[in-house]
Copies of this chain bind each other. A is one copy, B any other.
Amino acid sequence: MAADALPTLACACASIRRAARAVTQLYEAELQGTGIRVTQFTLLQALQRMGPSPQAALGELLALDATTLSRTLRPLARSGWIHATRGADRREVRWTLTPAGRRRFARARPLWERAQGRLRTRLRPEHWSLLLQDLAAVAGAARRA
Contacts and interface: CB of A to CB of B under 8 A. Distances in A.
Contacts of A127: 134, 137-138, 141
B135 A18 contact: yes
A5 interface: yes
Interface stretch (A61-69, A76-84, A89-97): A61-69
B122 A8 contact: no
Contact of A8 (B16, B120, B124, B132): B132
A134 B138 contact: no
B45 A137 contact: no
State the copy count for this chain. Answer: 2
A140 B22 CA distance: 8
Interface centre among A19, A25, A116, A126 (most CB of B within 10 A): A19
A145 B13 contact: no
Contact of A142 (B2, B14, B23, B49): B23
Contacts of A39: 17
A112 to B, nearest CB: 7
A136 B19 CA distance: 7
B119 A4 contact: no
Contact of A136 (B8, B13, B145): B8
Given A17-B38, A22-B63, A141 B4 contact: yes
Interface in A40-60: 41-42, 45, 49
Nearest to A2: B137
